[in-house]
Chain A
Amino acid sequence: DAGITQSPRYKITETGRQVTLMCHQTWSHSYMFWYRQDLGHGLRLIYYSAAADITDKGEVPDGYVVSRSKTENFPLTLESATRSQTSVYFCASSERSPGIQYFGAGTRLSVL
């Protein structure tokens, strides 16, 4: 399917476990982003990537790891999940900078 897809859509895990959220886009967009959305904070940037093998931290990177070995994929890993990482996570991509960002449907993560 064309577009940007996130998986899983819902995830429940326990504190201390490693969790990976997947993001895949079919447009060959250069830029990809991970955001988290929490009540009272709006959307906040976790990590972003300007191209394959180029990543950089956003506002709230602690506790997260990203990689981008292929242009189309940008997985986000929580190395040891904490309750404070319970949130809705959105992946986005854009062709250029600045550019319109296209968002995935989101992943709702609960850490118990």
Chain B
Amino acid sequence: KNEVEQSPQNLTAQEGEFITINCSYSVGISALHWLQQHPGGGIVSLFMLSSGKKKHGRLIATINIQEKHSSLHITASHPRDSAVYICAVSRWETSGSRLTFGEGTQLTVNP
């Protein structure tokens, strides 16, 4: 079993829909990261959080430390949101310096 599991693996939505991507992890962490990888391959960090909730524009990330679960929400989705979304964790035993990644969620938003 992977230490970081994402669901769903693939997600297709219509423009304007509310989207949720889930991430569960099984190790002790100091922080959780959400990243976005565009079709061209570039990887961008969206959020790093260790508790609660963060919001940036139409993106919201939440984390529940007790349940070892995080969600990434996209409100009013748009075709430009189409990308792979990757969850990663900074592990306690490595002083947080190393990331362990989920396999990603491929999101396609149709107009």
What residues make up the interface of A, taking CB atoms closer than 8 Å to B? 31, 33, 40-45, 48, 50, 58, 88, 90, 92, 97-103, 105-106
Within 8 A of A (CB), among B1-57: 30-31, 33, 41-45, 48
Comparing B59-67, B70-78, B93-101, the segment that makes contact with chain A is B93-101
A110 to B30, CA, bound (A): 36
Asked if B90 and A97 make an inter-chain contact with CB atoms under 8 angstroms apart, the answer reads: yes
Check if B98 sits within 8 Å of A45, measured CB to CB: yes
A88 near B41 with CB under 8 A, answer yes
Whether A42 pairs with B103 at a CB distance below 8 angstroms is yes
Residue of A nearest to B32 (CB): A98
- Judged by DSSP, the binding face of A is strand
A33→B35 CA distance, assembly (Å): 16
Which residues of B are found within 8 Å of A99, using beta-carbon distances? 48, 96
B97 touches A103 (CB 8 A): no
Q: B48 to chain A: which residues have CB within 8 Å?
A: 98-100
A-B contact pairs, 15 of them (CB 8 A): A31-B97, A40-B103, A42-B101, A42-B102, A45-B99, A48-B98, A92-B43, A98-B30, A98-B31, A98-B90, A100-B45, A100-B48, A101-B99, A103-B42, A106-B41
Known contacts A98-B31, A98-B90, A100-B48: does B41 contact A105 (CB below 8 Å)?
yes
| Pairwise interchain contact B42-A48, C-beta atoms closer than 8 A | no
Judge whether B86 is part of the interface by a CB distance below 8 angstroms: yes
